[in-house]
Chain A
């Protein structure tokens, strides 16, 4: 596989410099605009984001300091045909993930069949023994999934990560579109872009469809978004979604368990909640069941959950499905539960826990990306081709000490999409996180998703915590 910096797939331009069909209409519009005006709009966008407060907090920075995720105004464009194939693949994958979770917490057929070694579960903190034998309301484990995709060629999308816990970023998908429509309204009359704005309504409907046994019908199920609070890096998104759904935004301190229900403290007394869209991690949900020091959760919520008093979305224990150690088994998992070949490919992955693989990885560190099994946010990883000899040597020590903690992947030649720079358009690497809603009524995928872009030339790291930005993502109408 090619390394970064060599010939990457450019999503806008063909090899001969002509514009690909997806970008034709956009490019025509873009070339007709006055560059000075575009620059002004670009600066305007940042002020707009600050004013409406789309900010995130960076851990370890000055407390309370809020940053913007840089927004790039060149859209990432996906054709209807490409999207059709993607959605089929995503749907298949999400179906498999739910079936996998159901199986893991019940009969564990996949382990009995020998397709997944029991070691993948043993000592894996993401597997919650408290969930064994319990089926969540509606049989849904992962109500909201964000599948991270990368593209390496015209028809090659690969899954980089399945975010099955509490994927974030959907508010950026929505606000990026709002911003683009505010800045360039006429552009949307020229290019047929599928809308994303009804995501919150679909999310609310999807969550309500998973009401618990204790909900007796009548008035709509009461939905609340549980946030760790205003200092959480994604607080803006929690408030945004609660607002758009017409749900309450609650913190652990607002909640208590009363008469077998989870209730929130209102000005007139305690009121039961049916569905909690939680944006706190499993470990912090219930100090009685998990981390006893947690002040973010609700004492006793897990008992209420198990007795059908409340729905928790996503279900606790779903992390086992997006664990990096499990990831390498996803092709087998998809096949085992759907009986079909996976439509979306995995990135080839070496499990360093296996002696042969470890040997290969140690021999080829300079060409590989090595990730911590439980890491996230682009931290604690080694990108071989862009690391110094010293960094590689240091990482080798860590790897040898705890090989089971790591997986390795080839450096992918990620596709590029142009960004707007002072010198004009310039290609940068991107990934894509479409957002998927799961309910007993079916699987619902919002057309597009969040495109993250590495703003630094040649960089492959798109994480917002490390200098990445975002783009509006367009799926063209048929």
Chain B
């Protein structure tokens, strides 16, 4: 396939994943702001949502307050925000148009319809009462497109590039969420067992849609180390770092098989994947959770650049 086409499906999937992750972060931020009493701590929550999406700086250029509706409208639809959910869904749809000939009708139509619906829902400012519906529609779009990909696409290079895009984005997202909130998982004598921690831990899990899964695995008991282990090393949880890397690896292996040749990105990925599998949660805390996550985020960027270069995404 064309290098530009590979770039198109890769970014289409990344943008959809990112839109969905942003929706989840807003959902959690909203939830938390409702349950946090003081104005100041509500502001802190919204700030941390902006930090996680990497948009705090851009937000502060045009806004001085951190009220919920201001922040979530900025994240969802603000015209001058190139990182808004609406812009991302539009980017996904534009990329889908670029690679229209590589997609099944089902994939193209679900992407196009999702964009049409969201454009309508986000045509006017979103109010707190309608926020839930908007967020559901964003998640629904992601789910439908994934389902259409899964159900109708040939298992070939196009599919592989799409999946690689999804899991690079997801790995990056989980790592960033953890990194913004890593301090709530650190042992701190004063906070252990307080209800605040419990809320924070629950939030962390919710923002990667992992609260139910975690309590299934742990019979409802929460502890910071267990949560960190779950989000980083659990091979069953589809948003853990290990899971994402395994998926990137298997899809890269698909490409190597189809093309009959490996590229430098394979080597990079193998090293990073092996390191991830060999490490333990004790080791991670020993070197420092924050340092580990920073290293991981850097590695993910390196790998994604290598894939783009090795498969000739652009000239």
Q: List chain A positions with a Cβ less than 8 A from chain B.
A: 50-53, 230, 235, 239, 242-243, 248-251, 253-254, 264-269
Contact = CB atoms under 8 A, between A and B. Distances in A.
A251 B112 CA distance: 22
Interface in B237-289: 255, 259, 261
Contacts of B311: 267-268
A265 B101 contact: no
- Interface of B, secondary structure class, is helix
B36 interface: no
The size class of the interface chain B forms with chain A is: 20 to 34
- Interface of A, secondary structure class, is mixed
Given A51-B116, A253-B315, A230 B97 contact: yes
Contacts of B98: 230
Given A239-B101, A254-B3, A254-B4, A265 B312 contact: yes
Nearest to B314: A253
B1 A266 contact: yes
Contacts of A267: 1-3, 6, 157, 255, 259, 311-312
B315 A51 contact: no
Given A51-B112, A52-B112, A253-B315, A265 B4 contact: yes
A268 B256 CA distance: 11
Given A230-B94, A250-B2, A265 B315 contact: yes
B100 A266 contact: no
Nearest to A247: B101
Nearest to B113: A51
B109 A251 contact: no
Interface in B100-135: 100-101, 105, 108-109, 112-113, 116
25 contacts: A50-B116, A51-B113, A52-B108, A53-B109, A53-B112, A230-B97, A230-B98, A235-B97, A239-B97, A239-B100, A243-B101, A248-B101, A249-B100, A249-B101, A253-B315, A254-B3, A264-B2, A266-B1, A266-B2, A267-B2, A267-B6, A267-B157, A267-B259, A267-B311, A268-B259
Contacts of A251: 4
Contact of B109 (A52, A242, A265, A266): A52
A267 B108 CA distance: 22
Interface string B72-107: 000000000000000000000010011011000100
A300 to B, nearest CB: 15
B4 A253 contact: yes
Closest 7 CB pairs of A and B: A239-B100, A267-B311, A243-B101, A265-B3, A249-B101, A242-B101, A267-B6
A303 to B, nearest CB: 21
Given A52-B105, A53-B108, A254-B2, A243 B113 contact: no
